[in-house]
Amino acid sequence: MTEIATRVDLALLGIRVEVPVRRRSGAGPSDDGHVLIGGAGAAIPLRWDSPYTLRGDRLLLEGTDLGVTVEPVRRPHFYDLSTADGVSYEKIARLHGKDVLATTVVQTCIRYAEDQRCRFCAIEASLEAGATIAVKRPEQLAEVAAAAVRLDGVRQMVMTTGTSAGKDRGARHLARCVRAVKQAVPQLPIQVQCEPPGDPAVLSELRDAGADSIGIHVESLDDRVRARWMPGKSTVPLSEYRSAWREAVRVFGRNQVSTYLLVGLGEDPDELVSGAKELIRMGVYPFIVPFRPLAGTLAVDVDGALAPEPERLEAVTRAVAAELRRAGMLGVAQKAGCAACGACSVLQSAGG
């Protein structure tokens, strides 16, 4: 089995292991264990039924040693601290991969009514479980970021947000948070993630606040898939995404703008790859991520949706990675963000 095929399998089938750092339903698409595979960060589902297990730090497939080292990411020190008003830092931001600080600055979404919600999303589940707070204030994020850099060597930060009812769809609160974190830790690169802000000028406000890169996540370029899986979000037309991406590339630069494209929503794989090529031509990095069935989402609890077949994920990942290499747009060249981290995708293992 090739290295990419193993990485695809792990992304879909998961691994049986007790991992100290895991997250439930926060920023990012799934409920994963954060591990290092051969030294690279990977977000892998923790599953009791996976054929992959760990013996010490060695990866076994049905008992056979694959010669691959897997280490759980250790629990960061900053999790043990609290703000002066008693909020645990762990509820304000989380460690992703080996060195990414991730936060959802507003943990609620105007699209969370059952007939509007993205069917793979569980943004409010961790709030209901008491694992986080609804709104992270800029000064709280600055305090946590400074500690995470000082105590745990965090090297970049990702700030995402639920969509607000405002015209900017939440982007202005992100800008305030970025400004506060940059004042406290100017050297920390930050990626912001939001829907296309109604007014494109807000993208310049985010850049001026200090954001280094941006994710404007469409998840699918197929309008039928969008309507079925994202009834609320699909009311923002693809034309608005394209305008926002173009303006974001102008403001942030080529390959400092990205979007998630999910594999496994019933899309046509050839159309997905040609859509990814169009994005690459625009200077936008298509972050290819498998749909992962997550308990607590409508996709699982109502639809019984399953993860994509490994062959499909591998074929799409290889094709998009080849296009990225051809264009000289590597994830590691992004200053911050999911493409730079790469843990939720197989693209970096495929050279993208």
Distance CA 352, CA 346 (A): 9
125 touches ligand SF4 (CB under 6 A): no
Q: How far is the CB of 341 from ligand SF4 (least distance, A)?
A: 3
Nearer of residues 30 and 50 to ligand SF4, judged by Cβ: 30
31 exposed, middle or buried (CB, 10 Å; 0-12, 13-18, 19+)?
Answer: buried
Q: Which of residues 73-102 bind ligand SF4 (CB under 6 A)?
A: 96-97, 100, 102
Instruction: Compute the chain's Rg from CA coordinates.
Output: 19
- Helix (H) or strand (E) segment spanning residue 55: strand 52-55
343 interacts with ligand SF4 by CB under 6 A:
yes
Q: Is residue 211 within 8 Å of 242, Cβ to Cβ? A: no
By C-beta, is 60 or 185 nearer to ligand SF4? 185
User: Per CB under 6 A, does 214 bind ligand SF4?
Assistant: no
Between residues 60 and 220, which has the closer beta carbon with respect to ligand SF4? 220
Q: Find the shortest distance in angstroms from Cβ 44 to ligand SF4.
A: 10
* Structure tokens belonging to residue 106: 């507003």
Q: Which residues pair with 156 in a beta bridge?
A: 100
* Structural contact between residues 32 and 22, judged by C-beta atoms closer than 8 angstroms: yes
Q: How far is the CB of 244 from ligand SF4 (least distance, A)?
A: 19
CB of 237 to ligand SF4, least distance (A): 26
Give me the least distance between CB of 34 and ligand SF4, in Å please.
7
Least gap, CB of 336 to ligand SF4 (angstroms)? 9
Per-residue binding letters, 135-164, with ligand SF4 (x by CB under 6 A): -----------------------x------
Torsion sign (Cα): 173, 174, 175, 176: positive
Residue nearest to ligand SF4 (CB): 28
Establish if 27 lies at the interface with ligand SF4 (CB under 6 A).
Answer: yes
3-state secondary structure 287-326: EEEECCCCCCCHHHHCCCCCCCCHHHHHHHHHHHHHHHHH
Buried residues in 73-103 as b, exposed as e (16+ CB within 10 A): beebebbeeeeeeebbbbbbbbbbbbbbbbb
Residue 65 CB, nearest distance to ligand SF4 (Å)? Answer: 27
Q: Considering only residues 232-291, where is the footprint of ligand SF4 by CB under 6 A?
A: none
The dihedral formed by the CA atoms of 165, 166, 171 and 175, expressed in degrees to the nearest 10? -130
Minimum distance from residue 217 beta carbon to ligand SF4 (Å): 10
By CB under 6 A, residue 341 contacts ligand SF4 = yes
8: left (phi over 0), alpha (psi -120 to 50) or beta: alpha
Total binding residues toward ligand SF4, as defined by CB under 6 A:
12
Residue pair 240/196 in contact by the 8 Å Cβ criterion: yes
Q: Which of 338, 346, 347, 350 binds ligand SF4 (CB under 6 A)?
A: 338
Report whether 21 contacts 46 (CB < 8 A). Answer: no
CB of 227 to ligand SF4, least distance (A): 25
Nearer to ligand SF4, 60 or 217 (CB): 217
Q: Does 4 bind ligand SF4 (CB under 6 A)?
A: no
Q: Is 42 in the site for ligand SF4 (CB under 6 A)?
A: no
28 or 308: CB nearest ligand SF4:
28
Q: Tokens for 252, please give them.
A: 């942030």
Q: Using CB under 6 A, list all residues that contact ligand SF4.
A: 27-28, 43, 96-97, 100, 102, 158, 338, 341, 343-344
